[in-house]
Amino acid sequence: MIESAKSSISSSLASSLEPVLKKQTHNRVANIHWFRTDWQRGGASTGFATWQSDDGKTTPAVIKLPVNQKELLWTRKLQEQNGVVPHLYASGEKLNGYDLAWIIIERFPYGPLGGHWDDSNITRITEAAARFSKKASLFPIDQEGRREDWKVLLKNAKKSVRDNRIQNESQWKKAHSLLTKKLSQVIEIWRARRIDQWLHGDLHLANAMCRCDDPDSKVVLIDLAEVHAGHWIEDAIYLERQLWGHKSRLKATKPVSTMATARKNLGMRVDDDYNTFVDVRRLMLAATAPAFMQSEGDPRYLTSCLEQLQNALDRLRLK
């Protein structure tokens, strides 16, 4: 869903930035219409526009401002990598004298995939994630992986179960108690994973776009603000988790094994023991879901999280 920009940015801000942006792009950008999607986070402004190329041709475009340095960096870096990211028409790190990064990119005529469910969606987006990581691997890993504070997150989740009287409260408490006893071991397993690839970091169907309506056409990933170094399991479980509350979709599609296949098809490494990391990641994300009631408090989703937590505890058989 797209909402009017009047609900997300002030008209004075838009009117003050548009002339500057037009001047900075030599009047190649025009017909700007600001909007906001219902999945959009943060204070960024986004607008549909048109872009005039060197030959005078006018093309639909999207303006994003501000963007963080990661999105600017990776959108620029991957421009020559066979269309794995949006085509970049223009970008900058300053606007109107302020440190305000911005990009103008192609507007995709089809998507996002989240607008219509099809069992092929998962295959297409996992293939896109694998292509993204493979092309991004041309650039060296220059950062450590993310280190979530699981102890604090689990503590907050346990408190939330008590305070919010969550459905199946006694089962949550029992599972949390079992995990608390094994938490150090679980964290040790997770932190032993390989951190040797770049991940998209925000892999969901709303960030999957297409350049044509062919149901087999390649997906392009947008919104690169969360790109980071890590293990491919992180992207796979991030995607899978969005289906936890939709059992029929999860039964019909297997995001983790599908991504493993996509990586193998591209000649990328897939360790034989990756399922251990899968269960640990599921375990921790499911266990800490109650800590985020505002975004993850749907009863159906939390019920599924409890099942994921219990099943992962059983499979791991921690000593």
Question: pLDDT averaged over the chain?
Answer: 91
Q: Cα separation of 145 and 150, whole Å?
A: 14
Asked if pLDDT for residue 79 goes beyond 60, the answer is: yes
Query: What percent of the chain is predicted at pLDDT more than 90?
Result: 80
Give the CATH H-level superfamily of domain 2-106. Answer: Phosphorylase Kinase; domain 1 (3.30.200.20)
Q: Per-residue pLDDT tens for 185-196?
A: 999 999 999 999
Say which residues have a Cβ less than 8 Å from residue 177's Cβ, sequence separation at least 6. Answer: none
Q: Cα separation of 59 and 97, whole Å?
A: 28
Residue 9: band (very low, low, confident or very high) from pLDDT cuts 50, 70, 90: very low
Domain boundaries, the chain: 2-106, 113-316
CATH number corresponding to 113-316: 3.90.1200.10
Q: Per-residue pLDDT tens for 218-276?
A: 999 999 999 999 999 999 999 999 999 998 999 899 999 999 999 999 999 999 889 99
Q: Cα separation of 61 and 49, whole Å?
A: 5
Asked if pLDDT for residue 45 goes beyond 90, the answer is: no
Whole-structure pTM value? 0.91
Phi and psi for 235 in degrees, rounded to 5? -65, -40
Exposed, middle or buried: residue 283 (CB in 10 Å: 0-12, 13-18, 19+)?
A: buried
Say which residues have a Cβ less than 8 Å from residue 175's Cβ, sequence separation at least 6. Answer: 287, 306, 309, 310, 313
Residue 200: band (very low, low, confident or very high) from pLDDT cuts 50, 70, 90: very high
